[in-house]
């Protein structure tokens, strides 16, 4: 079995059918909106120049 050790992570990338819900969820972790487009939400932590998370729009599940 292979073991991977991560030393640094640039940012997380998720998909969500509702970016408003994703933004509300991520604000519970003290993240702040860095940018928002029709298809993507970019969130950051306390450092204004560092992107922490990106969410893209996905299809809603039935």
Give the model's confidence band at 33: pLDDT under 50 very low, under 70 low, under 90 confident, else very high.
Answer: very high
Q: What is the model's pLDDT at position 60?
A: 64
Instruction: Measure the CA–CA gap between 1 and 34, rounded to whole angstroms.
Output: 39
Residues 6+ apart with CB under 8 A from 58: 15, 16, 17
User: β-strands 32-36, 40-44: how paired?
Assistant: antiparallel
Q: What fold, for 12-57? A: 3.30.720
pTM, to two decimals: 0.69
Give the model's confidence band at 45: pLDDT under 50 very low, under 70 low, under 90 confident, else very high.
Answer: confident
Mean pLDDT of 28-51: 86
Structural Rg of the chain based on CA atoms: 13
């Amino acid at each position: 079995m292979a073991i991977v050790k991560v030393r640094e992570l640039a940012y997380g990338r998720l998909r969500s059918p509702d970016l408003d819900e994703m933004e509300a969820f991520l604000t519970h972790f003290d993240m702040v909106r860095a940018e928002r487009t029709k298809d993507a939400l970019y969130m950051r932590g306390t450092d204004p120049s560092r992107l922490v998370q990106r969410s893209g729009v996905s299809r809603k599940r039935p």
